[in-house]
Amino acid sequence: MKRLGFDYLDLYLIHTPHPKQHMDRWQEVNAGSWKAFEELYEASRIRSIGVSNFMPEHLDALLETAKIMPMVNQIRLFPGVTQDETVQYCRQRNILLQAYSPLGTGKVFAMPEMKPLAAKYDRTVAQICLRWSLQMGFLPLPKSANPYRIRENAALFDFELSAEDVAALAALPT
């Protein structure tokens, strides 16, 4: 934090449950990291603490020793990739789902179902995918290096997809 020049961080995540170097004892390593996260949270150095790429078995293991429930689980979610089991697990425990790669790292632009939907709502393909993510209850984290697209990706709050279209996008082939 000193090197970043900040007094506190908004959010801090364990990036992955079992990195290669801790494959044989990931439960123990995550429990230790989480204890440090909890201390930083209680000292108000970090506003929210969470995890990324955790599936239910990883969260179950963490919760054996955790005092504080993770506030966020950042996982890969976009139309056709819905990680239902993890999503249900997190919803039941009030863990916010952050959707990384919400445009499928660009893959959504090649999906044939997208253009007709974009035309139906008079929006771009990116906006359809990001609005879908919001309506699924996710917090989408699109990446763009282009200022025009960054604005486009934030203009999501003056239209709504129908429940049928949300369900159809969720059911697209992975």
Could you say which DSSP state residue 47 is in? E
**Site for ligand NAP contains 56 (CB under 6 A):** no
Looking at beta carbons only, is 67 or 150 nearer to ligand NAP?
150
In degrees, rounded to 5, the angle at the alpha carbon of residue 147 between the alpha carbons of residues 144 and 149 is 55
Residues 59-98 that bind ligand NAP (CB under 6 A): 74
Q: Which of 152, 155, 166, 168 binds ligand NAP (CB under 6 A)?
A: 152
**Site for ligand NAP contains 174 (CB under 6 A):** no
Phi-psi region of 94 (alpha: psi -120 to 50; beta: other; left: phi over 0): left
| Spatial CA neighbour of 129 closest among 116, 145, 140 | 140
Q: Which of 18, 22, 45, 149 binds ligand NAP (CB under 6 A)?
A: 149
| Dihedral sign of CA atoms 9, 4, 74, 62 in order | negative
Looking at beta carbons only, is 29 or 139 nearer to ligand NAP?
139
Binding residues for ligand NAP, rule CB under 6 A, total 22
Give the helix ranges, DSSP H, for 64-162.
84-92, 114-121, 125-135, 147-154
87: tokens are 């999503």
CB of 157 to ligand NAP, least distance (A): 16
Residues at the contact surface with ligand NAP, assessed by CB under 6 A: 15, 52-53, 74, 100-106, 124, 126, 141-146, 149, 152-153
